[in-house]
């Protein structure tokens, strides 16, 4: 998606909070996400080659209140299910990992495959770079498990929680708690 795909407000040449140079670009846009509603997407990106500062988030225009939902991944088609994750959301993938909100957390719009691919890449990094043989073996097994889930050969239920209600898993299969 590009800035031309919908109306984006852009401010360039702002002061970067990390490198303190006037190389920060701010972007903000409102977008209607089907079955979720209107959201405001915003990001900050430093254009300074040595910096790389980036923050992004999204907020629902409507007050949705606290959200907790679960989604069972049991087929390869589930990889296409849309996920809206704000910086305040926590995603739990049992026996694999928990994506915790925090100061460096970003919001994004992706799909189930995008979430699992992010986790898989982190686990592959541990597998490839750890000096601990036990940690390497555990990571290797987790990569196999994630691959089976992504191919629809194993089932798992993920949980998404957002105290501000700016997140969701957009599917008829989603169960709200």
User: What tens digit of pLDDT does each residue of 141-158 get?
Assistant: 999 999 999 999 999 999
pLDDT the model gives residue 105: 78
Fold designation for 1-62: N-terminal domain of TfIIb (2.20.25)
Q: In the chain, where are the structural domains located?
A: 1-62, 64-177
Check: CATH 2.60.120.1040 for 64-177? yes
pLDDT, position 148: 96
- Which pLDDT value is given to residue 6? 60
Smallest Cα–Cα separation from 26: which of 47, 6, 4? 47
**pLDDT tens figures, 66-122:** 999 999 999 999 999 999 998 889 999 999 999 988 777 778 889 999 999 999 999
Which own/partner contact pairs does 108-111 have at CB distance under 8 Å and 24+ positions apart?
A: 108/56, 108/58, 109/33, 109/41, 109/58, 109/82, 109/83, 109/84, 109/85, 110/82, 110/83, 110/85, 111/79, 111/80, 111/81, 111/82, 111/83
């Amino acid at each position: 998606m590009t800035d031309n795909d919908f109306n984006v407000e852009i401010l360039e040449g702002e002061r970067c909070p990390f490198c303190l140079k006037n190389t920060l670009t701010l972007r903000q846009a409102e977008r209607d996400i089907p079955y979720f509603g209107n959201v405001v997407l915003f990001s900050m990106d430093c254009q300074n080659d040595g910096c790389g500062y980036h923050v992004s988030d999204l907020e629902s225009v409507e007050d949705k209140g606290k959200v907790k939902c679960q989604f069972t991944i049991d087929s390869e088609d589930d990889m296409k299910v849309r996920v809206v994750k704000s910086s305040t959301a926590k995603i739990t993938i049992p026996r694999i990992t928990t994506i915790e909100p925090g100061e460096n957390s970003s919001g994004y719009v992706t799909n189930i495959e995008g979430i699992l691919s992010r986790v898989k890449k982190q686990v592959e990094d541990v597998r490839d770079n750890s000096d601990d043989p036990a940690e390497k073996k555990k990571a290797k097994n987790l990569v196999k498990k994630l691959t089976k889930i992504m191919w629809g050969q194993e089932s798992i239920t993920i949980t998404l929680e957002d105290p501000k209600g700016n997140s969701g898993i957009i599917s008829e299969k989603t169960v709200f708690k």
